[in-house]
Structure 1
Amino acid sequence: MNGKILWAAAVPLILGACASMPHDDTASAPTFIYTGNPLIRDRHTADPAPLVHDGTLYLYVGHDEARGEQMFNITQWLAYSTQDMQTWQDHGPIMQPTDFSWAIRDAWASQVHEKNGRFWFYTAVEHDPAQGSHGKAIGVAVADNPLGPFRDALGRALVRNEDTDGPHHWDDIDPTVWTEENGQSWLIWGNANCYMAPLADDMISFSGPIRQIDLPDFEEGPWIFRRGDTYYLAYASMDRTISPDERISYATAPDIEGPWTWRGEITGSAANSFTIHPGVAEFGGEWYLFYHVGTLDIGDQPGGLGRRAVAVERLRFDENGLILPVAQTAEGILR
């Protein structure tokens, strides 16, 4: 979720009391068939975060609800699932920002990570200034299954704006998490600066210092994954000498701690949106790249910056393990 343009005014968050209640009965969840991109067509969605668990791919997204000239108004996190990438189930809202008692708004980019039989939800929200901090912060929620119910696991922010030396008050966003085979977990996040830190066994504190990863043209939206012995860090990049819009670039490393080697661009700018956000998963023997575009019109709400739509393409690699360029298409994985 991009936050590099300063908010002109706060957007009040008004949601029903049941917004954070998941649809626990998977069998009764509404279904739809993937017919190309965008994947979800009945509402605007952004910042896709896939999770593969027990033969099912779960997809977590932010619900874009900007109106008029609003830049962003992302009110809740939604969950979807599939077992074949064709038939999808809509599980509805799983959480809203104010489920964190110390947050006031903004369901920005997130990732759900499974460890030790629990599901840890790392996400970015706006901290309540009345509770000792301001700006974007990273919270952690936890649940016993992928669809929740999720609850605040810490009771405060894991990362506050004051905890890092970033250039603005929205540099602590877009968390991604990885667990090594030895059980050590890592959190990576950031806007303008890319940060990383080792998570303690409790998954709600750090066991070491926060450090920075130097990535060319890094803007935001890091996403960590591994294929074979190679670690990949995809991220939203921006070279303002070429375009004012983000693209998705990536780096590789032989170890989670680096050194990271920049490998180039995975895909170009999103249509009708200067933001883009990668989410990568291997499922059913194939790799997939999830991202968002701004092309979906719903009723009188045209697609655009604050009304984006999640899309998906196959991700392929060459014989050296480098990612082949991905074309953004309307056909998507139907090609």
Structure 2
Amino acid sequence: MIAFNNTAYLYTGHDEPRADVDDYVMNNWLCFSSTDLKTWIEHPVPLSAKDFKWAKGDAYASKVIHFNDKFYWFVSVSHGSVPGKAIAVAVSRHPTEPFEDALGHALVTHDMLPKAETDKANLDPSVLIDDDGTAHMYWGNTLCYYARLNSNLTAIDGEIRITELPGFFEGAHIHKHGDWYYLSYGHELPEKVAYAMSRNAAGPWEFKGILNEAADNCETNRPATLDFRGKSYFFYHNGALPNGGSHRRSVCIDYLHYNADGTMKQVVMTSDGVEKLSNS
């Protein structure tokens, strides 16, 4: 999720298994935009896993950021020659136009990790550009990894280290609100969303508890947040639409509220979602 020119842009994975397949089948990512958070425009597919020529496929969860007049899309794919998943980055001059491989190779490969418990270790990258311009990235599966990126977001700057978080499974999401940094993530299975807080984007992190309960009819949940036109929103997914499920997921939006001490109130999942914003 990003906000740009008074428009919200939603970037999602694309579950597309055949009716007889009960597994993850994801080949590309999708882009939608809205000015009122109720009416969404679907744009032509801006990025596919095989747009990275070195990858063999699998379009896993991702994060788009706007930085220095460009849009950077951090994604997880299956590497074509290095065993395991890899983190890639694509770039575009416009939020809805085709993105291109920014590097011609992976940003992070499995063999770069200090420790890994699964070949899916390089999942779900989330990037935050701090107020001083420093880029921070969190990602992982069963272990949460942290690293800084260089000034043009094309390389790891320093070491990759492990961030200890209770019950961390996957789906890391970092954001800042006020003077606090928040690291939300999928907590155990079936995934609830838990979160931790810090005064520093690099940690240390203090665990605060559950932010969102397990989603309906879906084993996983990937959090995202957006401050847009004076309110805060929480994005997640479930499998509640007709024929939905863990491998046929749908996007949901509800309000996100903060307490006076900076902690986040537990998000109440609703079937109605949020109210339509006025465009006047």
The question of 1:267 aligning with 2:217 is answered no
Residue of structure 1 aligned with 2:122, choices 172, 185, 193: 172
1:183: Cα distance to partner?
A: 1.1
The question of 1:207 aligning with 2:207 is answered no
Which residue number in structure 2 is paired with residue 305 of structure 1?
A: 246
1:162: Cα distance to partner?
A: 1.2
1:181 match: secondary structure: coil
Deviation readout 1:155-202 (Å, 9 max, x if unpaired): 111111111121010011100001112111111111111111111112
> How many angstroms apart in 2 are the aligned matches of 1:250 and 1:201?
27
> How many angstroms apart in 2 are the aligned matches of 1:182 and 1:325?
30
The amino acid across from 2:14 in the alignment is H
Which residue number in structure 1 is paired with residue 270 of structure 2?
A: 329
Which residue number in structure 2 is paired with residue 64 of structure 1?
A: 15
Which residue number in structure 1 is paired with residue 182 of structure 2?
A: 232
1:87: Cα distance to partner?
A: 2.1
User: TM-score, normalised on structure 2?
Assistant: 0.95
The amino acid across from 1:177 in the alignment is V
Which residue number in structure 1 is paired with residue 238 of structure 2?
A: 293
> How many angstroms apart in 1 are the aligned matches of 2:36 and 2:219?
31
1:92: Cα distance to partner?
A: 2.9
Which residue number in structure 1 is paired with residue 2 of structure 2?
A: 51
Deviation readout 1:32-78 (Å, 9 max, x if unpaired): xxxxxxxxxxxxxxxxxx11112111000011011223310012111
Which residue number in structure 1 is paired with residue 99 of structure 2?
A: 150
User: 8 Å contact 2:9–2:33 — kept in the other structure?
Assistant: yes
> How many angstroms apart in 1 are the aligned matches of 2:163 and 2:140?
10
RMSD (Å) for aligned C-alpha atoms: 1.2
User: 8 Å contact 1:80–1:92 — kept in the other structure?
Assistant: no
> How many angstroms apart in 1 are the aligned matches of 2:29 and 2:73?
11
Which residue number in structure 1 is paired with residue 36 of structure 2?
A: 84
1:148: Cα distance to partner?
A: 2.5
1:90: Cα distance to partner?
A: 1.0
Identity fraction in percent: 37
> How many angstroms apart in 1 are the aligned matches of 2:193 and 2:179?
22
The amino acid across from 1:328 in the alignment is M
> How many angstroms apart in 1 are the aligned matches of 2:198 and 2:167?
17
Number of corresponding residues: 274
The question of 1:110 aligning with 2:52 is answered no
> How many angstroms apart in 1 are the aligned matches of 2:44 and 2:22?
24
> How many angstroms apart in 2 are the aligned matches of 1:305 and 1:86?
24
User: 8 Å contact 2:45–2:98 — kept in the other structure?
Assistant: no
The question of 1:280 aligning with 2:225 is answered yes
Deviation readout 1:197-235 (Å, 9 max, x if unpaired): 111112110111111111100010111111111000111
1:319 match: secondary structure: coil
User: TM-score, normalised on structure 1?
Assistant: 0.80
User: 8 Å contact 2:38–2:275 — kept in the other structure?
Assistant: no
> How many angstroms apart in 2 are the aligned matches of 1:273 and 1:55?
32
The amino acid across from 2:150 in the alignment is A
Structure 1 or 2: larger strand share?
2
2:215 match: secondary structure: coil
1:332 match: secondary structure: coil
The amino acid across from 2:12 in the alignment is V
The amino acid across from 1:78 in the alignment is L
Deviation readout 1:278-332 (Å, 9 max, x if unpaired): 01110011111111101112xxxx1111111111100001111111111211111
Which residue number in structure 2 is paired with residue 96 of structure 1?
A: 48
Gaps of 5+ in 2: none
2:274 match: secondary structure: helix
> How many angstroms apart in 2 are the aligned matches of 1:212 and 1:143?
30
2:158 match: secondary structure: coil
> How many angstroms apart in 2 are the aligned matches of 1:168 and 1:90?
34
Show structure 1 runs of 4+ deviating over 3 A. Answer: none
Which residue number in structure 1 is paired with residue 169 of structure 2?
A: 219
User: 8 Å contact 2:149–2:157 — kept in the other structure?
Assistant: yes
> How many angstroms apart in 1 are the aligned matches of 2:254 and 2:99?
29
Residue of structure 2 aligned with 1:245, choices 184, 190, 212: 190
Which residue number in structure 2 is paired with residue 36 of structure 1?
A: none
